[in-house]
A and B are shown apart, each in its own frame.
Chain A
């Protein structure tokens, strides 16, 4: 059987990129707990950094 040939223009790669993006967004639903924790962690780290700087250099707010 002959192999099917694909056009290797830039649009093919754009299409693959979008397919990958869609698949990873779908996958992120599976790990929503993990994503929420990572999102929440950024605020926690920000809070700690503000506290740390306040304690080291005095009141910065």
Chain B
């Protein structure tokens, strides 16, 4: 019992230190990061204009819903990002992954800390853009969120589930690097799939019923769109319940899948880069 408590506090301490370390590391390259964030905001603004124009022309969606959806995305997407498909894959390919295997903790703890550190920094840098977006949309009468504490609480739980799903998906994807030594095309393809089915390019409110059912069953929805849909406050209690159940099932299934695949894939690791 005592050993278990020690392990738990050890994990927390290590995670806290790694998060702090990566926060400081991101701060070192803040100029580059700020440029990335500006590029992200420009992309979101572009998508916001396209979909609000579409809502106006077709009349299928509420313009306020679509605009608020993309303004919220500026903030929520920063909390959900996972850098494993880029960094983890690179570490396996260049052999630096061996260092992670020798450390007295799971390499997932290190990756989790690095994600938390960089996401925290990105979140802080994105806040001014979010506030500005919120102010402009409120002035134009398009802002529809009333910051209900209950919905914010549910949204935060959905963010935590979504981040973990994204993290596990990224780590499962990274395992392919044990078999395939050129991952650039696959990484871009993975990013395309994740961006399409997570609701980044197409808000789900615009999808026809069959496509909507498909994206609701896939795990990608829970990595971005689901928390935003909760915050928008247009979901029924039934939809909320179903969403949380599917998200939790995916989280457990992906964790089990990761454990099984890692056990099989690690045998193929040859540390060629060393």
List residues of A whose CB falls within 8 A of some B CB. Answer: 31, 33-35, 37-38, 40-41, 44-45, 48, 51-52, 55-58
Contacts and interface: CB of A to CB of B under 8 A. Distances in A.
Contacts of B202: 51-52, 55
Contact of A37 (B51, B57, B181, B185): B185
A37 B202 CA distance: 23
B180 A34 contact: yes
A56 B186 contact: no
Nearest to A56: B54
Contact of A48 (B53, B181, B188, B201): B201
B196 interface: yes
Interface residues of B, number: 23
B182 A57 contact: no
Contacts of B127: none
A57 B57 contact: yes
B188 A55 contact: no
Nearest to B188: A41
Given A51-B202, A55-B206, A56-B54, A44 B192 contact: yes
Contacts of A55: 54, 202, 206-207
14 contacts: A33-B180, A34-B186, A37-B189, A38-B185, A41-B185, A41-B192, A44-B189, A44-B192, A48-B201, A52-B201, A55-B206, A56-B53, A56-B54, A57-B57
B196 A48 contact: yes
Interface in B175-232: 180-186, 188-189, 192-193, 196, 201-202, 206-207, 211
B86 to A, nearest CB: 16
Interface string B140-162: 00000000000000000000000
A10 B29 CA distance: 48
Given A40-B189, A48-B201, A56 B50 contact: yes
B58 interface: yes
A48 B202 CA distance: 10
B212 to A, nearest CB: 12
Nearest to B187: A37
B193 to A, nearest CB: 7
